[in-house]
Amino acid sequence: MRIDLTGRRALVSGSSQGIGQAIATELARAGASVVVNGRDQDRTERAAEAIAREVPSAELLPVAADLASADGAEALRERAGELDILVNNLGIFGAKPVLEIEDDEWRRYFEVNVLSAVRLIRMYLPGMTERGFGRVMNIASDSAVVTPLEMVHYGVTKTALLAVTRGFAKAAAGTGVTVNSVMAGPTHTPGVEEFVGELVGEELPWDEAQRQFMREHRPYSLIQRLIEPTEIGNMVVYLSSEQASATTGGAVRVDGGYVDSILP
C-alpha cells in the first residue's frame, strides 16, 4: 500500500514531544504539510527542527498555543488556516489515588484531554464537510476501556473521547469526512519513562524497569513491551489516507493486544 498525503494540511495538537511529534513526523514523511503545536514557542520550534532533520522535505509550521483554552484554539486557527487532517493528540496523565483527586484536577483533565479536542473538531469540521474531505483522529488509550486504578481521572477522559468520536462521526455522515479514535497502548515516551519510574522505582535500569512495569501493571499486553511512538504514527497516516475512506466512527487499536476483548 502506497500512501501519499501530498497536498493535505494536517495539525497535530501537542506535537512538541512524544507521540505527537512522532505522528507529525510520519505525516510529514507521507507528504502532508504539518502544523506542529505545543504551548512553548521555543520547544515547538525545536520539535519542528527535529522533524525537519528526520524528513528534510517536510513542510512544517510551528505554532505555539495552549489548546486547553478557547482563546488558544482561536489563536492557532488564525495562523494555521484550514485543515484536511486534524489529530487531537494533546493530553495529560499522572498517577494519583482516586480518592485524592479534587474537583479542580478533574476539571483540568477534562479541559485538556476532552474539551481541547471538542473545540478543534467544532472549529474545523464544517470546512471539511463543505470541501467533501477530512480526517479527524482523537488519540485515545487502552485506559478508555480498562480504567487504570492509578489514574482513574485520565481513563475517564479517554473513555469520553470515544463517545466524542462516535458523536462527531455521526455529525459528518455522508460528507466524505471520517472521524476515528486511535486507542494507543502503553507507549515508550519520556513522560512514560518518568511514570514507570514513579511506579516501580527510579533506581532500576530502564530495561528492567520496563519489564517490571509491563509484568505488574500491564500484564495483558500481547507484545510484552512498550509501543514505539512511530507505530502509532503509522496508524494515523493510514487513517489520514484515501485508503481509509470506509473507516469512521471507530476505535482503532494500536495497543499491543493489551485490551482483552475482540471489540473495543
pLDDT digits (tens, 9 = 90+) for 91-133: 999 989 999 999 999 999 999 999 999 999 999 999 999 999 9
Q: Would the pLDDT of 22 be above 90?
A: yes
Q: Would the pLDDT of 264 be above 90?
A: no
CA distance 256 to 158: 17
Selection from 66, 65, 55, 64 nearest residue 32 by Cα: 55
Q: How confident is the model at residue 191 (pLDDT cuts 50, 70, 90)?
A: confident
Homologous superfamily of 9-187+228-253: NAD(P)-binding Rossmann-like Domain (3.40.50.720)
Catalytic residues: 154
Residues 6+ apart with CB under 8 A from 216: 199, 200
Query: According to CATH, where is 3.40.50.720 located in the chain?
Result: 9-187+228-253
Q: What is the mean pLDDT of the chain?
A: 96
Residues 6+ apart with CB under 8 A from 139: 19, 20, 23, 87, 88, 89, 91, 181, 182, 184, 232
pLDDT digits (tens, 9 = 90+) for 193-210: 988 998 898 889 999 999
Q: What is the pLDDT of residue 210?
A: 92
Q: What is the pLDDT of residue 190?
A: 86
Cell of 117: 479536542
Q: How confident is the model at residue 136 (pLDDT cuts 50, 70, 90)?
A: very high
Q: Would the pLDDT of 172 be above 90?
A: yes
Share of the chain above pLDDT 90, in %: 89
CB 56 within 8 A of CB 84: no
Write the DSSP symbol of residue 30: T
pLDDT digits (tens, 9 = 90+) for 40-89: 999 999 999 999 999 999 999 999 999 999 999 999 999 999 999 999 99
pLDDT digits (tens, 9 = 90+) for 30-46: 999 999 999 999 999 99
User: Mapped to the 3 state alphabet, what secondary structure does 175-194 carry?
Assistant: CCEEEEEEEECCECCHHHHH
